[in-house]
Structure 1
């Protein structure tokens, strides 16, 4: 599964876009990978794989993820923005 697919599926499960997850994590001042994963699992019911993808986005930043995990294109504004 591609990195973007993990983000898209997490949005389908929760109704929260990747960009919104970035904002929520920032509001909670979550910066460590493990604490982001624990929060996503506990509060949003995500499985480990989806939580890990979002945690990487939160802790490394969109630019790093786009450069290292995609073909340079990363969609953060949600599925509806791409429709």
Structure 2
């Protein structure tokens, strides 16, 4: 369990007076069939915010990445039909692990989150033709291969799109390292 998830679980207990396990029991007793039904119940009946309702719904259904025992299975699933991007992921991860021994690699269902004290990057085979590197770099203008992400709820501030292993240039690695350094 990463620190962000632990903090959220602790805050759930502080805010509601019930543990995550108690909320999971409450939700399971209702026999909801769908994620959205759980979300609606927790928001409308118990005043949950979207984030807390989503976390409880995912945990109750064991549908979150944290509930998966085999993290390598998550990575395999990400590259199903996009196998040509697996060497891109492997090369990037190898370069990133050289930054320091404090890099946390957290596979999710659709991407791999890279954390230090906070998330600094995401690696994702976004489509069959585009591999996306999401980065959190405060106050940085887009330049070179670095693009700004303008979506309000984006998990990253910038991204780099690449199509092949040959596009992993020193510039790409340096941008990832900048994000890593800011996350310390």
Q: Report the structure, 1 or 2, having the larger helix content.
A: 1
1:13, distance to aligned residue in structure 2 (A): 1.4
1:40 equivalent in structure 2: 42
Q: Look up the SS of the partner of 2:37 in the other structure.
A: helix
Identify the residue that residue 4 of structure 2 maps to in structure 1: 2
CA contact (8 A) 1:21 1:54 kept: yes
The number of residues matched between the two structures is 68
Match of 2:19 in 1: 17
Per-residue deviation, 1:3? 1.8
Greater RCO (CA < 8 Å, at least 6 residues apart): 1
TM-score of the two chains, using structure 2 as the length reference: 0.33
Q: Are the aligned partners of 2:59 and 2:67 in contact in 1 as well (CA < 8 Å)? A: no
Gaps of 5+ in 1: 72-83
C-alpha separation between the residues in 1 aligned to 2:27 and 2:33? 8
* Residue 22 (structure 2) pairs with residue 26 (structure 1): no
Give the alignment's TM-score, normalised by structure 1: 0.66
Does 1:65 pair with 2:76?
A: no
Query: Take 1:23 and 1:42, find their aligned partners in 2: how far apart are those partners?
Result: 18
CA contact (8 A) 1:10 1:46 kept: no
Q: 1:4, 1:31 → 2: CA distance?
A: 26
User: How far apart are residue 61 of structure 1 and its match?
Assistant: 5.9
Greater Rg by CA:
2
